[in-house]
């Protein structure tokens, strides 16, 4: 079974530009989560999509947005890039394990803003 995939692996943009990151969940998973992992800050929750709808949003400005497509893949868009947006962006899909939801992470997209 294929895991969560993300593209591109690396992305280099200049300040003020827009970045688009893509994620495909594990087959059969309908939920997609996006996280930002900046150096020294740990994983910060960005967005949660389920069944095509945005279900929850972390404490990030509106220039971070996304969508989920009918095939459950997802896109994260970051507008008006700032230097501090440089980070590893991780996507995860989930499955219920007993009373919990287990998240499966992709390898991430490394975004560098210069």
> At a CB cut-off of 8 Å and minimum separation 6, what does 64 contact?
46, 47, 76, 77, 78
- Scan for tokens 């994260």, then name that residue: 76
Smaller CB separation from other proteins, 65 or 95:
95
Q: Facing residues of 112 across strands?
A: 12
Does 105 sit near other proteins (CB under 8 A)?
yes
In the range 2-21, which residues lie near other proteins by CB under 8 A? 4
Question: Which member of 15, 55, 77, 82 binds other proteins (CB under 8 A)?
Answer: 55
Structure tokens at 5: 């995939």
User: Could you report how far apart the first and last alpha carbons of the chain are, in Å?
Assistant: 37
Smaller CB separation from other proteins, 50 or 79:
50
Question: Which member of 16, 63, 101, 114 binds other proteins (CB under 8 A)?
Answer: 101
Question: Which member of 25, 34, 76, 108 binds other proteins (CB under 8 A)?
Answer: 108
Q: Facing residues of 62 across strands?
A: none
Phi, psi at 28, each rounded to 5°: 95, -15
Which residues in this chain contact other proteins in the complex, by CB under 8 A? Answer: 4, 33, 35, 40-45, 48, 55-56, 90, 92, 99-108
């Amino acid at each position: 079974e294929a895991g969560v995939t993300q593209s591109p692996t690396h992305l280099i943009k200049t300040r003020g530009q827009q970045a688009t990151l893509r994620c495909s969940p594990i087959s059969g998973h309908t939920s997609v989560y996006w996280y930002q992992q900046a150096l020294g800050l740990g994983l910060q929750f960005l967005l949660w999509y389920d069944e095509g709808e945005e279900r929850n949003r972390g404490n990030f400005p509106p220039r971070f947005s996304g969508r989920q497509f009918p095939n459950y893949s997802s896109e994260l868009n970051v507008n008006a890039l700032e230097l501090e947006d440089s980070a590893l962006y991780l996507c995860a899909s989930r499955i219920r394990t007993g009373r919990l939801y287990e998240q499966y992470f992709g390898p991430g997209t490394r975004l560098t803003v210069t």
